[in-house]
């Protein structure tokens, strides 16, 4: 017996998924499929840009992308509908990929209320043919890799990916452009680990540019003077990450009673230790011995002694955390991110260095996950890799402390009545004065200084 639901077409909404801790909205970066294209369950449909990571939303079922509701550049919230997938084509889609010229896609019975239909057309319509999808959209690639490829007009399908399951990473595209191998060497990645201050300074961001007007037929040479009275300007839309960074940094300064205390660290002992052990360390662990691991260990030793710097405020209570998840601020092209070393107190120097190198590499490729960025009890940021001599880091809420490292520079120091030249580094601790007293912050920084200047004690204190 025929049932009215027999010819009813199944449809699914494409929803903005849960995006992780503290992320409530996103921006539609780019649709990977067009209306009218046939897709399989799980196929990437659209890229979303958040303040922390970019991610792809997959097809909830096999069928045809019948409707796109939110276009490129629109801001969306968790749970909102991005588009609709029908079990088979249900509406006429002008210019849809794979459509035979002159042929109409007709509405299936009961599949989309309000659209005009022809009786029986849903049963008589032919199954839509797979679209002639360009290779670039079939190739697995990160969003940042696609953007670089598009900007340089590189065919991404021709690039061999070095990511998981052959995914094309940003470094692969850059390697194809320059002719260099896509994968970064250990030293290159170590140099890229430059963690950046939570204030997002030192120019490590890249805003998404608004569409530009067509270039004039005879463009001026770079640096050529403009016509008299013309004041050239360019309007560039902030990326989602940059806009959120701007908002949160203002909120951090408004909500917290933030102060900063400074000190300087004699890096002689650490420099000598690294020089003695660097080759053996690299041969054994496959990564260079940087300064970051010393400061991670020293910070943990100081946090144990001054636990309110490893806390957060909730209402009128202090949540003192007895674990040490240390955030490492990393400046990537898309903006600042702070991936977290979980249980850093249990990590060896080598594990810390490998973790930081991996964060830097994946941040540059846009391959960090939400899990990498969750939580964190205390943050370390290194502006010294960019040449910063001194700066005031801004808190990374809800944390109440952040340690800023800076450039190591030879300076004359008085030692036992004599002037000596020593490799010195200014360090800065920004803290929330609501729960951390000034004396406590100063003593915390002095403790970090003592541990770094006598690195042998790190084995005991951290």
At 223 the pLDDT is 55
- The domains found in the chain, sorted by start residue, are 11-132 (2.40.50.100), 143-183 (4.10.320.10), 241-461 (3.30.559.10)
* Whether 138 contacts 158, CB under 8 Å: no
pLDDT tens, residue by residue, 49-85 = 887 777 889 889 899 999 999 998 888 888 889 999 9
Q: Are 388 and 353 in contact (CB under 8 A)?
A: no
Residue 312 token pair: 């957060």
Full pLDDT tens readout for the chain, 462 residues: 444 444 455 788 999 888 766 677 888 988 999 898 999 888 889 988 887 777 889 889 899 999 999 998 888 888 889 999 998 644 444 444 444 333 333 333 333 344 444 344 444 344 444 444 444 445 777 777 777 787 787 888 888 888 766 778 878 888 888 876 544 443 333 444 444 443 333 333 333 334 444 444 444 455 556 678 888 888 888 877 777 778 777 888 888 899 999 999 999 999 999 999 989 999 999 999 999 999 999 999 999 999 999 999 999 999 999 999 999 999 877 677 899 999 999 999 999 999 999 999 888 887 888 889 888 999 999 999 889 999 999 999 899 999 999 999 999 999 889 999 999 999 999 999 999 999 999 999 999 999 999 998 887 766
Q: Measuring CA to CA, how many Å separate 244 from each of 74, 258, 359, 363? A: 15, 20, 21, 17
Buried b (16+ CB within 10 A) or exposed e, 120-149: eebeebeebeebebeebbebebbbbbbbbb
238 DSSP 8-state letter = P
Task: Give bridge partners of residue 325 from the DSSP assignment.
Answer: none
Q: What is the pLDDT of residue 443?
A: 98
Apex CA 101: angle with CA 99 and CA 105, to 5°? Answer: 50
User: Other C-beta atoms within 10 Å of 254: how many?
Assistant: 8
Residue-level pLDDT at 100: 39
Question: What pLDDT is recorded for position 222?
Answer: 52
The number of beta carbons lying within 10 Å of the beta carbon of residue 333 is 15
Cβ neighbours for 261, distance < 8 A, ≥ 6 positions apart: 428, 429, 431, 438, 441, 442, 445
Catalytic residues, by residue number, are 433, 437
DSSP category for residue 334: B
**C-alpha 143 chain-centroid distance:** 11
pTM over 0.85: no
CA distances from 391 to 64, 88, 144, 145, 266 (A): 53, 58, 30, 32, 18
**What is the phi-psi region of residue 387: left when phi exceeds 0, alpha when psi lies from -120 to 50, beta otherwise?**
left
Looking at residue 135, what is its pLDDT? Answer: 42
Q: 3: which 2 tokens?
A: 């049932």
pLDDT at 181: 52
């Amino acid at each position: 017996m025929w049932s009215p639901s027999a010819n009813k077409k199944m449809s699914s909404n494409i929803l903005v998924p849960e995006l992780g801790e503290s992320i409530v909205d996103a921006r539609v970066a780019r649709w990977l499929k067009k209306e009218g294209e046939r897709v399989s369950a799980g196929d990437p449909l659209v890229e979303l840009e958040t303040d922390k990571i970019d991610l792809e939303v997959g097809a909830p079922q096999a069928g045809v992308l019948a409707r796109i509701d939110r276009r490129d550049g629109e801001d969306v919230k968790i749970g909102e509908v991005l588009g609709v997938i029908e079990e088979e084509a249900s509406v006429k889609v002008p210019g849809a990929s794979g459509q035979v010229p002159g042929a109409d896609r007709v509405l299936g019975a009961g599949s989309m209320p309000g659209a005009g239909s022809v009786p029986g057309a849903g049963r008589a319509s032919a199954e839509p043919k797979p679209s002639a999808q360009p290779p670039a959209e079939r190739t697995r690639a990160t969003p940042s890799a696609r953007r670089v490829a598009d900007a340089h007009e590189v065919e991404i399908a021709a690039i061999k990916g070095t990511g998981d399951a052959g995914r094309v990473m940003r470094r692969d595209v850059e390697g194809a452009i320059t002719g260099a191998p896509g994968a970064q060497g250990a030293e290159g990645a170590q140099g890229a680990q430059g963690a950046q201050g939570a204030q997002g300074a030192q120019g490590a961001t890249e805003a998404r540019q608004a569409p530009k007007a067509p270039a004039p037929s005879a463009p001026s040479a770079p640096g050529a003077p403009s016509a008299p009275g013309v004041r050239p300007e360019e309007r560039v839309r902030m990326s989602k990450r940059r806009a959120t960074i701007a908002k949160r940094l203002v909120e951090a300064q408004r909500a917290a009673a933030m102060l900063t205390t400074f000190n300087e660290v004699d890096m002689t002992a650490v420099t000598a230790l690294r020089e003695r052990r660097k080759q053996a360390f690299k041969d054994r662990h496959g990564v260079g011995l940087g300064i970051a691991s010393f400061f991670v260990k020293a910070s943990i030793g100081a946090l144990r002694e001054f636990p309110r710097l490893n806390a957060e405020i909730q209402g009128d209570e202090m949540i003192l955390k007895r674990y040490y998840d240390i955030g490492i601020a990393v400046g990537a092209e898309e903006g600042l991110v702070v991936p977290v070393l979980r249980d850093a107190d249990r990590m060896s120097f080598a594990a810390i260095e490998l973790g930081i190198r991996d964060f830097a590499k994946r941040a540059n490729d846009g391959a960090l996950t939400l899990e990498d960025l969750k939580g964190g009890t205390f943050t370390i940021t290194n502006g010294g890799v960019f040449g910063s001599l001194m700066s005031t880091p801004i808190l990374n809420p809800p944390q109440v402390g952040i340690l800023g490292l800076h450039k190591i520079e030879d300076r004359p120091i008085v030692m036992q009545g004599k002037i000596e030249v020593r490799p010195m580094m200014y360090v800065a601790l920004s803290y929330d004065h609501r729960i951390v007293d000034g004396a406590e912050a100063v003593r915390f920084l002095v403790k970090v200084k003592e541990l770094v200047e006598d690195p042998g004690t790190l084995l005991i204190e951290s």
